[in-house]
Amino acid sequence: MSDQSQGAQIIEAGKAVLGMELGSTRIKAVLIGPDHNPMASGGHGWENALVDGVWTYSLDAVWEGVAASFAALKEDVRAKYGVELTKLAAAGFSGMMHGYLPFDAQGQQLANFRSWRNNITEEASKELTGLFSYPIPQRWSIAHLHQSILKGETHVEKLDFLTTLAGYVHWKLSGEKILGINDASGMFPVDPVAGDFHQERLAAYDAHVADKGFAWKLKNVLPKVAGAGARAGNLTVEGAKLLDPTGALEAGVPLCPPEGDAGTGMVATNSVRERTGNVSAGTSAFAMLVLDGEPKKVHEEIDLITTPDGKLVGMSHSNNCTSDYDAWIGLFGQAAKVLGAEVSTADLYDKLLGEALKADADCGGMLSYGYVSGEHMTGFSEGRPLFVRKPDSPLKLGNFIRSHLFTALCALRTGLNVLTEEEGVEVDEIRGHGGFFKTVEVGQRIMAAATRIPVSLLATAGEGGAWGVALLAAFMQEEGKNLADFLDEVMGDGMGEPLAPLAEDVAGFQSFFERYHAGLDIERAAVATLK
């Protein structure tokens, strides 16, 4: 039997598993078979909008994107296997972590979705970090809620349900107000032992706002928390029509708990055991190291979240990574077109990024900031993309490209220093995924220089978090296994050899890193001047 015929039988029999992730710039759907390998995929591009000073996505755009991504998946199935996708064995949904999606008792949205990209909750973040003796970054849902209270926003009086993007999608598809523990750990502190929100801190928060007279208690407006392997309801008839407006998809599909993109990245790179770590680098960048206990101190730079099976993770998160150099690559493409050259986007990236490996190790004195949005790690609520050089710094293409690759990782490195130098966290290697690694060797080598840790890549991790959440959906069917053992079986020896950092790259990055921090006043002046 041919692979095509076998694949068609799997799909028609309803034995394939769906994973869908709503990322920053793309909604992606992946279909996997019983061997857990991707069979087909589909996607839909979307972008956030800056509305009244808030980075947001409309809920209409959410459902347009979900349906378009699933339609593209169906078309890929049709093209590859000649059959229609109407049945699924299981499914899972994930999305950008953190943010703020509040609803009233009638299910009406109370405020625009405030995504992870916003740095507008500094007052609340500091107040809650002190209250809980636990780091509460500005992106977290509880920081957004408390900032709304501090600002006197009246919608909080009507609050009945607060969730994340993945939690919202799952709720509408299944009717269940539930969240995977990784995504939950970016809303409010969790207790890894209990596998639930931290009860003492919930009580402390309610006491802290008791004088406001709200009718709600925090634990009653947050989703239920579930770990990897749990069942989290089924796709309803109404949910099936949201996913597939043609009506062809059958309801009743078992769903795993919705998860955050950090958790699905851990799964997609098999990084859920202690002493493992992974880095996701694309629109934003975040490195996650699995810890063996809570840090000795409270560090505002570090998120404490969990793996999808509840192990504590230290995360260094930066809001900005590839967006600005993506824009520069696009500009070079425009220049090429004006000069009469037809160059594909893939060639533009491969050839231009490749120049970075031929450049001066420290970028020849150049300096850039890819701050499309604010950057909490360095204290910015707004950003201004910026490139600057001294008059005697030669304007060389390789150095220019290298400076944009280096700056994409400087905020990330700032947080990693807290984990590795102040807390003494050790990892044997970091496993990478995301758009930063698309060009062979370049992203891997630059990341190794920035982290000073060997970096390995998994071939299938190119499917990213959509594949990761599909694996979590498949894991529901695995009785008596823990997640780490299951992933070892799935991945086999598919992880590539780690690339060790080169001494000259490490030294060059360190020089740029020091220049980056010394020059932050330039970025502050740009924010203050360019209104």
233-263 confidence digits (pLDDT tens)? 999 999 999 999 999 999 999 999 999 999 9
- pLDDT at residue 461 greater than cutoff 80: no
* CATH (domain of 357): 3.30.420.40
Q: Please say whether the beta carbons of 184 and 190 come within 8 A.
A: yes
Q: What are residue 197's DSSP bridge partners? A: 190
* DSSP symbols for 115-132: -TT----HHHHHHHHHHH
Q: Please say whether the beta carbons of 147 and 121 come within 8 A.
A: yes
Residue 35 within any structural domain of the chain: no
Token pair 């069917």 in the structure block, residue: 477
Residues 270, 273, 278, CA angle at the centre, nearest 5°?
A: 50
* Angle between helices 122-132 and 141-150 in degrees, nearest 10: 110
Domain interval for residue 417: 323-457+501-529
Residue 479's pLDDT band, with cuts at 50, 70 and 90, is confident
Share of the chain above pLDDT 70, in %: 98
Q: Give the pLDDT confidence of 122-136 residue by residue, as tens digits.
A: 999 999 999 999 999
Residue 89 within any structural domain of the chain: no
pLDDT score recorded for residue 496: 78
Distance CA 260, CA 167 (A): 9
Q: Count Cβ atoms below 10 Å from residue 231 Cβ, excluding itself.
A: 14
Residue 41 within any structural domain of the chain: no
Q: What are residue 287's DSSP bridge partners? A: 279, 316
Distance CA 368, CA 455 (A): 24
Q: Give the pLDDT confidence of 271-281 residue by residue, as tens digits.
A: 998 888 999 88
Residue 9 within any structural domain of the chain: no
Q: In degrees rounded to 5, what are phi and psi of residue 222?
A: -90, 155
Please report, to the nearest 10 degrees, the dihedral formed by the alpha carbons of residues 516, 517, 521, 527 taken in order: 70
In angstroms, how far is the first alpha carbon of the chain from the final one? Answer: 64
Residue 84 within any structural domain of the chain: no
Residue 438 within any structural domain of the chain: yes
Residue 395 within any structural domain of the chain: yes
Q: β-pairing, 26-32 with 38-45?
A: antiparallel
Report for 163-167, 265-269, 302-306, 435-439: range of highest mean pLDDT: 163-167
Residue 448 within any structural domain of the chain: yes
The count of C-alpha atoms lying within 13 angstroms of the C-alpha of 271, restricted to the half-sphere facing its C-beta, is 36
For the chain, the C-alpha Rg in angstroms (whole number) is 23
pLDDT score recorded for residue 33: 96
> How many domains does the chain contain in total?
1
Q: Please say whether the beta carbons of 227 and 341 come within 8 A.
A: no
Residue 102's pLDDT band, with cuts at 50, 70 and 90, is very high
DSSP for residue 135? -
